């Protein structure tokens, strides 16, 4: 299941559910830095990417990352995805290279997934 977030933060229960569906300790997400939208969940970043593209997103604005909600805030984000390999957009690697785009992705994750001052405990009911 992939959940689209724009104006409202995901619930802790839903975030845990999405983690448990695929990888247990983390969830994949794709951020549209132009529309401030996140598609979170699923097995592949490309699945979430396809949904955002179908909704009218521009490829140049879409970036993939992984979110580890049970880790400390400074260790929650991994800016790595195969969909980020885009030499034509000056990003020849899996990792998001542009610090400004990284900051935008981080801000979206901290707004729509889990705020830096929030704690999510694995296996515990909220």
Query: Looking at residue 121, what is its pLDDT?
Result: 86
pLDDT of 124 reads 56
- If you search the block for the tokens 């104006």, which residue do you land on? 7
d(CA 3, CA 124): 22
pLDDT tier for residue 126 given thresholds of 50, 70 and 90: very low
**74-88 tens-digit pLDDT:** 999 999 999 999 999
Is residue 30 over pLDDT 80?
Answer: yes
For 34-88, write each residue's pLDDT tens digit: 999 999 999 999 999 999 999 999 999 999 999 999 999 999 999 999 999 999 9
Coil vs helix vs strand at 24: coil
Q: Is the pLDDT of residue 94 over 80?
A: yes
- Contact, 65 vs 96, CB < 8 A? yes
Q: What is the mean pLDDT of the chain?
A: 95
Most distant pair of Cα atoms in the chain: their distance: 45
Cβ pair 28, 22 in contact under 8 A: yes
């Amino acid at each position: 299941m992939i959940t689209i977030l724009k104006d409202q933060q995901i619930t802790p229960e839903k975030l845990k559910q999405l983690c448990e569906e695929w990888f247990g300790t983390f969830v994949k997400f794709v951020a549209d830095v132009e529309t401030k939208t996140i598609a979170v969940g699923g097995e592949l970043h490309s699945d979430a990417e396809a949904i955002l593209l179908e909704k009218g997103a521009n490829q140049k604005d879409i970036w993939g990352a992984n979110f580890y909600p049970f880790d400390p805030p400074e260790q929650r984000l991994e800016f790595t995805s195969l969909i980020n390999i885009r030499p034509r957009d000056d990003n020849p690697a899996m990792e998001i290279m542009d610090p400004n785009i990284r900051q935008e992705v981080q801000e979206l994750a901290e707004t729509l997934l889990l705020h830096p001052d929030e704690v999510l405990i694995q296996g515990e009911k909220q």
